[in-house]
Structure 1
Amino acid sequence: MGLAWQQGPLASGTIGHFLTAQPLPPRLLFAEPLRRRMRVRFADRWIADSEDVVLLHEPGRYPVAYFPLEAIGAGVLTAEERTTEHRDLGRTDWYTVTAGDREATRAAWQHSALTDVTAVLAGRVAFAWRAMDAFYEEDERIVGHAADAYHRIDIRATSRHLVVRADNRGVADTHRPVVLYESGFAPRWYVPREDVDESVLNPVDGQTFCPYKGLASYYSVGERTRAAWSYVDAWPEVAKVRNLVSFEADKLEIHLDGNRMHPEPGQAVVAHGVDRGLDPGEILHRATV
């Protein structure tokens, strides 16, 4: 989720509100120093390396890292004729990124008509995530998008009674579910496979990738497509839900302590922006140079 995406405090679909007498502007951008060394890899070369990165949080987007021009290798950026207009930051100039015998068009950009209010981004360039080979913090690869310090996951074991049914058939029945609380989302309930009738779970093609949890695999239950999912090989940081199964309350009948559960605000995942694309294949090279 983070600060400005999904239902975060600065997102357009936030479920909270600031306690102020005057209404806030409909769009708020937030920039802050990352305070981490960040590097960019392209064509087997380090093309950017800086401890002076600024992170921009923009409503409806994942956070974007902006590097000072002096931290980018010589000859890496070639200005293109293409310019676009950012609704808040004005004119945006685009660059081709070149290293060795490779080049990527529309792979970096700079806002060139900033005001005093937005001057923190002056002289800084951002790289399109998918166009680069990899981004690193120190020697560890960061997949998906720049790390968001405002995204948090808490996982709690509980003895509450969770029952899942489909067409009057039992799908899951447990007194040991695990609940995952994630910034900006409604709670997600996970069930140990021993308490699931796996004969009703039919694997379906297509996985999704979460930078904080890993790859999610999906299952149909009867005619209900993608009604359940599991992080079969969840990141170590969320190992408590590894290989457990969670279910969609809008597709199945789910009861918690006898009370029917219904989809809550924040339950649906909002699609990411095109230049913040997430590629499941990145997970295979998470820790490699």
Structure 2
Amino acid sequence: MGLSWQQGPLSAGPLGRFLTAEPLPERLLLAERLRRRMRVKFNGTWIADSEDVILLYEPGRYPVAYFPRTDVDPQVLVSSDKVTHHKDLGDTSWYAVHAGDRTTERAAWEFTSLPEHAADLQGRVAFAWRAMDAFYEEDERILGHAADPYHRIDIRGTSRTFEVRLGDTVVARSEHPVVLYESGFAPRWYVPRADIDETQLRAVEGQTFCPYKGLCDYYDIGDARRAAWSYRNAYQEVERIGDMVSFEPNQVEVYLDGKRLKLEPGQQVVAPHGVDRGLDADEARSR
């Protein structure tokens, strides 16, 4: 997803490689100005408001926003005795966050012994995503994690023939599927419901959440568990796939122009972890 996780260029298992004569360090970190106004709300109060946020990208992590201390309400950070050590960036001091009648422990942190080459993060504070009420860009709430400017989704229509089978049963057949290209992921094919035998889809409990597409519903097909999924109310930016269905090629037989598709290397597990939290559907439902 974007630069630093799944199969992005700064992830632990990148799809591509840097064409350099000398091998790069095993771990590459990137600090970059966001160039967007970002705000943090806690206990109904704005506690940070900055147009000088820096995003930190680490391998296997979502980007994390670091605010200048001068753009954070100085009354909300309460020092604690908790200090941890970051293997690349040195000692990390943790803070409780306090506003009104609410205090949350270990809700913010700051690097206090940065190496010289990482001075961009000096005097900056990050906030634990789940510990806050919400994060905003301007007046719009951002869900899941700080938005990654390098994360891109493109959706393309095609006249290729797409077919899904489970044994001798044809579950779906379409001559106008769409393909979704998403940073760090293999292409995913989506089919209109009119081209699906929906009697084969059995809705299951439990949703997942993508910060870029919305809430995702899942379906069993025969004995194949969670073999299909759909963003029934996809976000406006990807509304073209709204209520269409995609199929997992390692769960059912998926064919494109007669050629069977297989799950690409590195795509078997999508690890929804971040520096201090995971993604879940509850945050999206609370929007």
Band the TM-score falls in, shorter-chain normalisation: over 0.9
Is the 8 Å Cα contact of residues 62 and 276 (structure 1) preserved in structure 2?
no
Distance 1:18 1:106 in 2: 37
**Per-residue deviation, residues 151-176 of structure 1 (Å, max 9, x unmatched):** 00000011100110012111001101
Q: Is the 8 A contact 2:64 2:275 kept in 1?
A: no
User: 2:215: which partner in 1?
Assistant: 215
Are the aligned partners of 1:82 and 1:93 in contact in 2 as well (CA < 8 Å)?
Answer: yes
After superposition, residues 139-218 of structure 1 pair within 5 angstroms as: 139-218=139-218
**Matched residues in 2 for 1:221 and 1:87: separation?**
45
Matched, 1:231 2:238: no
- Alpha-carbon distance, 1:13 to partner: 0.7
Counterparts of 1:25-104 in structure 2, within 5 Å, are: 25-104=25-104
Note the residue ranges of structure 1 that are not aligned, 5 or more in a row. none
Identity of aligned residues (%): 63
Task: Note if contact 2:230-2:246 (Cα within 8 Å) is conserved in structure 1.
Answer: yes
TM-score w.r.t. length of structure 2: 0.97
Q: Does the 8 Å CA contact 2:154/2:180 hold for their aligned counterparts? A: yes
SS at structure 2 position matched to 1:136 = strand
> What TM-score results when the alignment is normalised by the length of structure 1?
0.97
Match of 2:285 in 1: 284
Distance in 1 between residues matched to 2:275 and 2:32, nearest whole Å? 23
Query: What is the rounded CA distance, in whole Å, between the counterparts of 2:166 and 2:64 in structure 1?
Result: 42
Question: How far off its partner does 1:279 sit?
Answer: 3.2
Q: Which amino acid aligns with 1:263?
A: L
Amino acid paired to 2:4: A
The code of the aligned residue for 1:122 comes to: Q
1:267 shift after superposition? 2.8
Deviation at 1:103, TM superposition (A): 1.0
Indicate the residue corresponding to 2:244 in structure 1. Answer: 244
Which string of whole-angstrom CA distances, capped at 9 and with x for unpartnered residues, describes residues 227-261 of structure 1? 00000000000011000000000010111101011
| Inter-partner Cα distance in structure 1 for 2:150 and 2:26 | 20
Distance in 2, Cα, partners of 1:128 & 1:138: 19
**What is the Cα deviation at residue 275 of structure 1?**
1.3
Any conservation in 1 of the 2:62–2:275 contact (CA below 8 Å)? no
Partner letter of residue 279 of structure 1?
D
How many residues are paired up? 286
Assess if the C-alpha contact under 8 Å between 2:218 and 2:230 holds in 1: yes
| CA deviation vs aligned residue, 1:103-138 (integer Å, no higher than 9, x gap) | 111100001000110111010000000110000011
Aligned partner letter, 2:279: L
Give how far 1:75 is off. 1.5
**1:1-40 equivalence runs, <5 A:** 1-40=1-40
Contact 1:97 1:104 (8 Å CA) reproduced: yes
Shift of 1:274: 6.0
Residues 1:272 and 2:262 are matched in the alignment:
no
What letter is aligned with 1:135? F
In structure 2, what is the equivalent of residue 131 of structure 1? 131
RMSD over aligned CA atoms reads 1.0
User: 1: distance between equivalents of 2:7 and 2:280?
Assistant: 23
